[in-house]
Chain A
Amino acid sequence: MTGFIECRNVGKTYESASGAVEALRGINLDCAPGEFVCLLGLSGCGKSTLLQIIAGLETASDGAVVIGGHELDGPSPLTSVVFQDHGLFPWMTVRKNVAFNMKAAGVKPVERAARTDELLEMTRLTAVADRYPHELSGGMRQRVGIARALTTRPKALLMDEPFGALDAQTRGHLQEELLRIWETQRTTVLFVTHGIDEAVFLADRIVVFSPRPGRISAVVEVDLPRPRDPESPGFMALSRSLRHKLVPDLQGAPLG
């Protein structure tokens, strides 16, 4: 069976002042509908670049991305992006931020308002609907980002280290919340992270990247039952083996 998101031999080369830099080489990746896939790697391994390409925000230098059977040419209506630094518009209230993607998609105002209320409810943001983003905590801001992404009923959520800037406790809460939403919505999730535990906690499948040039070095199925306990032996064993898969990168890396 072919995946909902397919990357076929995707490569990306940047032209820089000091010559061409190969950020990605030969990426082949299939995500099944409803699958939760984590792209795991150290910084600079191209995992975020791949997500940008799948989001239609960057173009691949080689290969192609197919989403829902259509070859990608710019951002797809079937996907929504959740950004690393939440990307909320500071001049819009929470409600307007949540409604923005629908506005961009041409959804009628009445329908927009109803769907916004629904999503505010689902992400428990109703009480702060009329606040501005800077009046919220980091965790709440990212929930606004997630709510906004979900409004257009995307078939896939593309999440670029969405919880990277949060403290450990808030991150834990949001991970649970994300799984709860994912289980009810059954969207495909492509989740970029450098956190091994985060990947093991969330993913059905973990795709491990290694740098220079960015490429897939391992694919690991996670068959631990949910909800997963980070203290359980299975969880810890998997984390340890992933750490070994990531560490060889460090040995070859130049210092600093």
Chain B
Amino acid sequence: MATSALESVAVPGIAAKRRQSVGASRFAPKRLLGLLPLVVVLVAWQIATLAEIYPPVLLPSPERVAMAFVVDYQDILFNAFASVTRVIIGVSIAFCVAVPAGLMIGRYRTLDMLSDWTIQIFRSVPPISLIPMALLFFGIGDKPAIVLIFLAALWPLLINTIFGVRGIERTLITVAKAARASEWLIFRDIILPAAMPAVFTGLRLGIGGGWLTVVTAEMIAVKSGLGYMILNAQLTFRSELIVAGIVIIGAIGLLADQGIRSLRAHVCRWQDGLTAAAE
């Protein structure tokens, strides 16, 4: 048959490469390169404390910080849990608001005209500058912190979702229209998946922003969480607990980002081999 030649023209290797890139590369030895700068920092830190460049009250040694993780693990766990819970709640609400809103604004010109200036104004306001107002309205507690995290995550999620919808190839909408697809189906099967990579970018930025905000907010507006713990450790001259807090903040940030990346790799696996990969 004339077409049998065509079957074999299917681009070979891409499918195989895709499976490989999802599974193997994360565990490749090259990945360990990422540890190198951290090791350098640790060694420099150790040398600095041995040389007593700063008094131990200000700069604790790595061993003392490690000990803090053992001695104060309950405190650290409790506060880390409080911070993480707030971020999850705040970012989740932001996600549920920003993604549908962004899909609509990206799709309909009138909504874009309506919202553009407002979005640009409000996203320029750092959430931290809203702490005094949040305190006035909500008092000390979870509420002001969650509201601030919500605001920190809302704008990057919204703007990236809109951006994602704008990037859709026009033809694909035309294809759906020619097939008489309902507006709902166009949203669900075309606009949403097409915008998904950008939504994930927004989610990464939103979680990052939310995480920065929670620590700051906890130093002022709440009596629990890692920010509160660090500030409290300063008041009681426990520098090793301050550093332990900083380490755990960084570690959770890294974990969250890695988590979102793997989720994205799974949800947007259709992109493998489409986007340019780094050499």
Contacts and interface: CB of A to CB of B under 8 A. Distances in A.
Partners in one complex: yes
A57 B177 contact: yes
A173 B6 contact: yes
B179 A128 contact: no
A93 to B, nearest CB: 8
Contact of A137 (B6, B15, B18, B171): B6
In terms of DSSP, what is the predominant structure of the interface of chain A? Answer: loop
A85 B171 contact: yes
| Of B174, B196, B268, most A-chain CB atoms within 10 Å | B174
A132 B269 CA distance: 10
Interface stretch (B67-75, B139-147, B186-194, B232-240): B186-194
Interface residues of B, number: 33
B180 A83 contact: no
Nearest to A177: B3
Interface stretch (A99-107, A112-120, A189-197): A99-107
A170 B190 CA distance: 29
A212 interface: no
A17 interface: no
A100 B189 contact: yes
B153 to A, nearest CB: 25
Nearest to B180: A75
Contacts of A89: 172, 175, 189-190, 193
B247 interface: no
B224 to A, nearest CB: 42
Contact of A87 (B5, B172, B274): B172
A90 interface: yes
Contact of A100 (B2, B11, B15, B179): B179
Interface string B166-185: 00000110111111111001
A128 B190 CA distance: 22
A135 B179 contact: no
Contacts of B179: 75, 80, 100-101, 104-105, 152
B10 interface: yes
Given A55-B178, A87-B175, A128 B10 contact: yes
Contacts of A176: 2-3
A6 B190 CA distance: 32
B53 interface: no
Interface in B170-229: 171-172, 174-182, 185, 189-190, 193-194, 196
Nearest to A138: B9
Contacts of A134: 11, 14, 273-274
Contacts of B9: 137, 139-140, 170
B117 interface: no
Contacts of B279: none
B137 interface: no
Interface in B1-30: 2-3, 5-7, 9-11, 14-15, 18
A228 interface: no
3 nearest A-B residue pairs (beta carbon): A104-B181, A87-B175, A104-B179
Interface of B: 2-3, 5-7, 9-11, 14-15, 18, 171-172, 174-182, 185, 189-190, 193-194, 196, 268, 270-271, 273-274
14 contacts: A55-B178, A75-B178, A75-B180, A81-B178, A83-B174, A89-B190, A103-B185, A104-B185, A124-B6, A124-B7, A128-B10, A137-B11, A152-B179, A173-B5
